[in-house]
Amino acid sequence: SAVISQKPSRDICQRGTSLTIQCQVDSQVTMMFWYRQQPGQSLTLIATANQGSEATYESGFVIDKFPISRPNLTFSTLTVSNMSPEDSSIYLCSVGGLAGGAQYFGPGTRLLVL
């Protein structure tokens, strides 16, 4: 597995502002992903973060709202832009491509938008 950290762990933001979430892994990984978990709901994949190229977004998610960067094999950021209360969720990054064939998740960032 891998040790994955996220910053911030939680934040309270005003509508109309943007928040950038960082994900750091303690080893190089081929795959990184960003998920959203809305209150009381399951996880939904936002996008696959591709190193050196644009992220691959799932249906219903767009780059203007959720820009993602991945400058190297150990780090990625997700920005939640022009936030509204509907963006209040837990945002989780995860990594794959490790021995064992599973994905491993970071601790999540709890976002509340007022």
Partner 1 sequence: AQSVTQLDSQVPVFEEAPVELRCNYSSSVSVYLFWYVQYPNQGLQLLLKYLSGSTLVESINGFEAEFNKSQTSFHLRKPSVHISDTAEYFCAVSENNQGGKLIFGQGTELSVKP
Interface ranges with partner 1 (CB under 8 A): 1, 30-31, 33, 41-45, 48, 92, 94-98, 100-108
Residue with smaller CB distance to partner 1, 67 or 96: 96
Smallest gap from Cβ 82 to partner 1, in A, equals 26
**Which candidate, 23, 12, 32, places its Cα nearest to that of 87?**
12
- Phi, psi at residue 47, to the nearest 5°? -165, 160
Residue with smaller CB distance to partner 1, 8 or 97: 97
Residue with smaller CB distance to partner 1, 17 or 26: 26
| Spatial contact of 31 and 4, defined as CB atoms under 8 Å apart | no
Instruction: Please list, in sequence order, all residues whose beta carbon lies within 8 angstroms of the beta carbon of residue 63, skipping any fewer than 6 positions away.
Output: 54, 55, 57
**Residue that is written with structure tokens 């780059």 in the block:** 63
Smallest gap from Cβ 53 to partner 1, in A, equals 17
